[in-house]
Amino acid sequence: MKLGAAQTPTASTPVIPVLEGRELTKSFWVKQGRGLLAGKARVHAVESVSIRLDPGRVTALVGESGAGKTTVGRLLAKIIKPDGGEVLLDGRPAPPGRPRAYAAQVQMVFQDPFASLNPVHRVRHHLVRPLQIHHMASGDLEAAVDELLRRVALKPPAHFAAKFPHELSGGQRQRVAIARGLAVRPRVLIADEPVSMLDVSIRLGVLNLLADLRDRENLAILYVTHDIASARYLADTIMVMYAGQLVEAAPSVSLTDRPAHPYTQLLLAAAPDPDRAERPALAAHGAPPSLLAPPSGCRFHPRCPYVMEICKRQVPPSVAVASDHSAACWLHVDPNERRVNETGLPATTTARDLLDQRN
């Protein structure tokens, strides 16, 4: 399945993405149970996910917990090694391991700013270390720290540099964490749920900061989130993941306005929306499958209201439903081209029907 990377680049995006993941696959061995009593089981966390990050653009990776979105972020940051697929930096395969040169290009911001800053060190330490490691600003460290804090709108910088993390509010901590990511002047920032642990009233501030960095510094940003509304607000492109697979990718507005995949529709229907006149009726129920033994074919098929026989057998291909909008769903494949002939089910359902049904 190719999604995102396979789509035709729009006019505004350059041909070579700054960072690209191709067919990334990763499974984990997890302990079941606790301590010495544990056994092991294999979790198929990410299955053949392709994704591209372009300079000056925010790509959002949206999904429920366990969908594998964080794993994709970590694969791209090379914190973990993929079992299959490759990571390309500027179109060239990134060197194995995680050399410092790669760290200088791709940085990460973590979900919990209460956990991502070391409680025993001052803010200055968190910013000075990356500068020292990467021999940036060898001349005037203090000035470099000041400038970093200014870039994330923590003023006066000297005041914040001397603080311990616990003396800062959640939003300020997350800004420090972003400043740390920016210290090495990376071209890619991977932000893993950067606002989900923050108070509602300060989330927008952090999202706006990311948007600002994208516009001013031409950063390529991967915004990993479970909140599709915030993805729509911040991101240029949204990619939706379900149970380790990409199911849909499109520019954010067209994805949220015209979702093509039944799962994306479900997500949107379930999301809180005060503008809605009536409470939504969910078309599908249940929970994402266990990734220890994912369902065959399309992983969404056990919950899909439009399930067909072929969905149970074959992984759906990525189909272009519009010029820059792709979905991995059999409904969008021409019924004549669905190679497995399913019986007893309406083979004539098309994407059009699906959308009509929704609207």
Partner 1 sequence: MRALLRRLGVYLLAAWVALTVSFLLPRVVPGNPVAGAVARASQSGNCNSQCVEAIEAQLGFNVHTSLWDQYVQYWGNLGHGNLGQSWSENASVSSLIISYLPWTLGLLLIATAVSFIAGTAVGVLMAWRRGSWLDWVLPVATFFSALPYFFLALVLVLILGKTGTMLKVFPSLFGYDIYGVTPGLNGPYIASIIGHAILPAVTVVLASTAGFILAMRNNMITTMDEDFVLVAQAKGLPARRVIWYAARNALLPVIANFTVAISLVVAGQILVEIVFNYPGIGFHLYDALGKLDYSLVQGIFVVITLVVLAANLLADVVYVLIDPRARQMA
Partner 2 sequence: MTINSTSLAGIPPVAGPTAELVLRPTRVLRLPRSPKVIAGLVILGVFGVLAIIGRWIAPYSPNATDQQNWVRHVLVPGTGAGTGFPASYYPLPLPPSAAHWLGTTVFAQDVSSQLLAATQATMFVGLLAAAIATVLSVLFGVTAGYLGGGTDEGLSLVANVFLAIPGLPLLIVLADYMPSAGSSVLLVAAIIAVTTWAYTSRTLRAQTLSLRNRDFVEAARVSGESRVRIILVEVLPNLIPIVAASFLFTALSAMGAYVAIAFLGLAGSPTSSPPGLWNWGEMLREGFANNAVRGGWWWWWAPPGICIALLGTGLALLNFGIDEFINPRLRAAGLSRRTAKKAGISLRSTLGMTPVAHRRAVAIMPQVTAMRPEPSSVRNAAEPVLTIRGLSVDYGYGDQAVHAVVDCDLVLRRGKVLGLAGESGSGKTTLALAAIRLLRAPAVITGGEVLFHSKPISGEEPAGTIDMLSATEEQLRAIRWSEIAVVLQSSLNALNPVITIGAQFDDLLRGLARAGEVLGMVGMNAERLRSHAHELSGGMRQRAMIAMAIALEPQVMILDEPTTALDVVTQREILEELIGLRDRIGFATLFITHDLSLLVELADEIAVMYAGRLMERAPATSLFHAPRLPYTYGLLHCFPPLHGARLAMEGLKGSPPDLRDLPSGCAFHPRCAWAMPRCHQDVPTLAPLDGSAREVACWLHRGEANVPAELARPDPLPSGSGRSGSIARVGEP
Q: Provide the binding-site residues for partner 1, judged by CB under 8 A.
A: 32-34, 36-39
DSSP letter assigned to residue 249: E
Q: Give the integer Cα–Cα distance in Å for 318 and 330.
A: 9
Interface with partner 2 in residues 272-331 (CB under 8 A): 272-277, 279-280, 282, 284-285, 287-288
Which residue number, 11 or 36, has a Cβ lying nearer to partner 1?
36
E strand map for the chain: 19-32, 39-53, 58-62, 84-89, 92-93, 106-109, 188-192, 220-225, 237-242, 245-251, 318-322, 325-328
**Residue 30 interacting partner from partner 1, partner 2, none (CB closer than 5 to 8 Å by kind):** none
Which residue number, 30 or 347, has a Cβ lying nearer to partner 2?
30
Which residue number, 32 or 138, has a Cβ lying nearer to partner 1?
32
Interface with partner 2 in residues 57-96 (CB under 8 A): 64-65, 77, 79
To the nearest whole angstrom, how small is the minimum distance from the Cβ of residue 37 to partner 1?
Answer: 3
Stretch that binds partner 2, among 41-49, 141-149, 178-186, 324-332 (CB under 8 A): 178-186
To the nearest whole angstrom, how small is the minimum distance from the Cβ of residue 29 to partner 1?
Answer: 16
Q: Give the integer Cα–Cα distance in Å for 214 and 189.
A: 9
**Residue 129 interacting partner from partner 2, partner 1, none (CB closer than 5 to 8 Å by kind):** partner 2
| Helix/strand/coil for 121 | coil
To the nearest whole angstrom, how small is the minimum distance from the Cβ of residue 220 to partner 2?
Answer: 16
**Which phi and psi angles does 40 have, rounded to 5°?**
-125, 150
CB 161 within 8 A of CB 145: yes
Which residue has 């910013």 as its token pair? 127
**Residue 292 interacting partner from partner 2, partner 1, none (CB closer than 5 to 8 Å by kind):** none
Stretch that binds partner 2, among 47-55, 113-121, 137-145, 216-224 (CB under 8 A): 113-121
Q: Does 12 bind partner 2 (CB under 8 A)?
A: no
Q: Give the integer Cα–Cα distance in Å for 259 and 307.
A: 17
Which residue number, 241 or 319, has a Cβ lying nearer to partner 2?
241
Q: Does 10 bind partner 2 (CB under 8 A)?
A: no
Look up residue 110 and give its amino acid. Answer: F
Q: Does 28 bind partner 2 (CB under 8 A)?
A: no
Which residue number, 56 or 335, has a Cβ lying nearer to partner 2?
56
Name which position in 112, 147, 217, 342 contacts partner 2 (CB under 8 A): 112
Name which position in 129, 258, 312, 313 contacts partner 2 (CB under 8 A): 129
**Contacts with partner 2: how many residues (CB under 8 A)?**
76
- Which ranges in the chain belong to alpha helices (H)? 69-76, 100-103, 123-133, 141-151, 157-161, 170-182, 200-217, 228-234, 252-257, 262-270, 309-313, 351-358
**Residue 283 interacting partner from partner 2, partner 1, none (CB closer than 5 to 8 Å by kind):** none
| Helix/strand/coil for 309 | helix
**Residue 37 interacting partner from partner 1, partner 2, none (CB closer than 5 to 8 Å by kind):** partner 1
CB 250 within 8 A of CB 322: yes
CB 255 within 8 A of CB 240: yes
Query: Residue 161: which of 127, 195, 193 has the closest Cα?
Result: 127
Stretch that binds partner 2, among 141-149, 176-184, 294-302, 344-352 (CB under 8 A): 176-184
To the nearest whole angstrom, how small is the minimum distance from the Cβ of residue 347 to partner 2?
Answer: 28
**Which phi and psi angles does 245 have, rounded to 5°?**
-120, 150
**Residue 32 interacting partner from partner 1, partner 2, none (CB closer than 5 to 8 Å by kind):** partner 1
Query: Residue 234: which of 263, 264, 204 has the closest Cα?
Result: 204
**Residue 205 interacting partner from partner 1, partner 2, none (CB closer than 5 to 8 Å by kind):** partner 2
